[in-house]
Amino acid sequence: MADPVFVHIGPPKTGTTYLQAVLWSNRAALKDQGVLVPGRSPVSQFHATVDLLERDPMRVGTERTAGSWDVLLDELQAWDGPAIISHENLGYADGEQADRAKLSLKAKHIHIIFTAREFSRIVPAMWQERLKNRADDTWHDYLDGLKGLGGWKPKAFWHQNTGAGLLAWAAGLPPEQVHIVTVPPSGAPPTLLWERFASVIGVDPSTCNTDVPRSNESLGVVESAFLRRFNSAAADVDWDAYRAHVKHFLAPQVLAQREDSIRISVRPDEISSLTERARELIETIRSHGFDVVGDLDDLTSLPAPADPDQARAIDDVGDDEALKASFDAVAGLVAHSEDLRRARQEQAAATKEARRELREARRHLDELRAVNRRLHVRLDAAENVLEHSALRRALSRFARRHAWAGRLRDTVLRRNRTGPDPS
């Protein structure tokens, strides 16, 4: 049985994707060190989380996720040593769900890992994530929503980011088994977050390769505005098509790669009203005596004021700029369509060749079967000849000793040649 079990509950946009990529790409190396990262593929723990919480933000469908948590538990039960589960959606759990999950783990020692980040970096990233999931909030509307003034409810966001989800998982555990890993500020060594995380799960960070793809590329000001407008105009697009071609291709592979993109820079006056939430989280952590790996002061350090020459209101994007982004988007989607067309052609050609080879193999097999049948016929004939020859020799030997046997031999041989006497 896995023990201890480390449960990393996020929240989103606190380096979770990077940490999960490091964990999964180094799964074999970690296993050699005695640490299990359970699951058959990188999405296994996501599916298990959906199954546990009955919360499906990606609309993957219960037919793909039902029973996934139990499958994960089976792997943990068969393992002897530490194990790590990591998914940011675990931070959505309420007290009842977290208690049920901890009981199902059956481990004597459960450790909770909460990665914390300064809100001026989380908030724009979460806004962009909403855009990638076809929301059409302006930046201003999104901030109003976080303050409880907008048309969407921020309950889940604050549940994850200000400690409610953390306390749900921490309930009943010693404070030293609840670890707060702070995300280093901008300019820190890129591997520092992993080093802090690895120190909690008890592995040597230098034994793991941290050169992993960064899949959550940020969009710039213009690109975010274009995607927001696109979402408004394409509300009827099927979700599966949107997810495949917009969320997982257009946004990261085209919009996030545009040259001269203006990075989103949050002004202090835009985010200062949210710093009270950060102070609430810090107070929760300190009052409960949780283990802190990093510096809690990083959670309230606002970014330096932007250069006035480069400052840009996030919602201030003109039609001409959005039009240029749309041209790039169309060009990217056309290239994407051409890649898909060529892939289909290559697949069709490969299928055609495979079918030709299969027909050829079947023809050879039929020839071999025909040869086999002829060989069996010849073998049967040879066996008959041998049997008849042996019978003749036996009768001849017997006939030489007994006259009546000679007559019997002649009768048998005659019948073999002409068939039985009709009389």
Distance (Å, rounded) from C-alpha 293 to C-alpha 176?
Answer: 11
- Compute and round to an integer the Cα radius of gyration of the chain: 36
Q: What percent of the chain has pLDDT over 70?
A: 89
Per residue in 317-361, pLDDT (tens digit) is 989 999 999 999 999 999 999 998 999 999 999 999 999 999 999
- Residues 6+ away with beta carbon under 8 Å from 148: 154
- The pLDDT score that the predictor gives to residue 157 is 87
Q: For residue 11, is the peptide bond before it cis, meaning its omega torsion is within 30 degrees of 0?
A: yes
CB atoms within 10 A of CB 72: 24
Angle between helices 68-77 and 95-105 (to 10 degrees): 40
- Residues 6+ away with beta carbon under 8 Å from 208: 22, 26, 29, 30, 194, 198
3-state helix, strand, coil in the chain (%, to 5): 65, 5, 30
Distance (Å, rounded) from C-alpha 423 to C-alpha 413?
Answer: 17
- The pLDDT score that the predictor gives to residue 422 is 55
- The pLDDT score that the predictor gives to residue 378 is 85
Instruction: Please list, residue by residue across 297-336, b when 16 or more beta carbons sit within 10 angstroms of its beta carbon and e when fewer do.
Output: ebbeebeeeeeeeeebebeebeeebbeebeebbeebeeeb
Confidence of residue 291 (pLDDT cuts 50, 70, 90): very high
Spatial contact of 6 and 108, defined as CB atoms under 8 Å apart: no
Per residue in 366-415, pLDDT (tens digit) is 998 988 888 888 888 887 887 777 777 776 776 666 665 566 667 766 76
- The yes-or-no verdict on residue 289 having pLDDT over 80 is yes
Distance (Å, rounded) from C-alpha 266 to C-alpha 123?
Answer: 9
Distance (Å, rounded) from C-alpha 403 to C-alpha 413?
Answer: 16
- The pLDDT score that the predictor gives to residue 411 is 72
Q: Name the strands in the sheet holding 2-8, side by side, starting at the edge strand that comes first in the sequence.
A: 81-86, 2-8, 110-116, 178-182, 291-293
Q: Rounded to whole angstroms, what are the CA distances from 106 to 45, 86, 95, 101? A: 18, 17, 17, 9
- The pLDDT score that the predictor gives to residue 409 is 62
For residue 214, list its beta bridge partners.
Answer: none
- Looking from the CA of 88 toward its CB, the CA atoms found within 13 Å total 19
- The pLDDT score that the predictor gives to residue 361 is 92
